[in-house]
Amino acid sequence: MSNNYDESNIATMEMIYGEGYLSAGGDREVARIFSGVKVAGKSVLDVGCGLGGAAVSIARDLDAGHVHGVDIDQGVLSRAAQLVEKNNVGNTVTLCHIEPGPLPFPGQHFDLVHLTAVACHFEELDTLIDDIFRVRSLEAAWSDGTG
């Protein structure tokens, strides 16, 4: 399974949404999504990280302890790796190609989980949501009052 983004698609989307983004919002939307949430020092899973814009923003602008970006499309991950390098966040951001299905992480592995504009790529949203709750540490999420 692949999203089949070609260079023309990517160029158009980045022209509209900003470097590193395949959907609307850009860095400002990432900041809005996380407003009121203590991200500094936390481990964040970015599901469907695409071109890496959000993963870079979370690491660079929100001072996450570590961001683990995952995607099923190796092509966009290659582009994301370039953005990570360009922004000097390679010590904070890890990118990983995954297969469709359950997230390949143990339970309660991440403090926070981020995803935008990826639900349309999943056939069973209830399974995805269950899996997100499985990999997210409830203790870490509740400790700062953000639930």
Element spanning 9, H or E: helix 7-17
Would you give the end-to-end CA distance of the chain in angstroms? Answer: 33
CB 136 within 8 A of CB 108: yes
Angle CA 116–38–66, to nearest 5:
70
Per-residue pLDDT, averaged over 11-20, amounts to: 90
Give me the pLDDT at residue 79, please.
Answer: 95
pLDDT (tens digit, 9 = 90+) per residue, 36-78?
A: 999 999 999 999 999 999 999 999 999 999 999 999 999 999 9
CB 115 within 8 A of CB 47: yes
Residue 112 clears pLDDT 80, i.e. is over it: yes
The reported pTM is 0.87
Q: How far is residue 74 from each of residues 2, 38, 55, measured CA to CA in Å?
A: 8, 31, 16
Comparing 21-25, 31-35, 95-99, 111-115, the range with the smallest average pLDDT is 21-25
DSSP state of 90: T
Structural domains for the chain: 7-141 (3.40.50.150)
Per-residue pLDDT, averaged over 133-143, amounts to: 69
Give me the pLDDT at residue 84, please.
Answer: 98
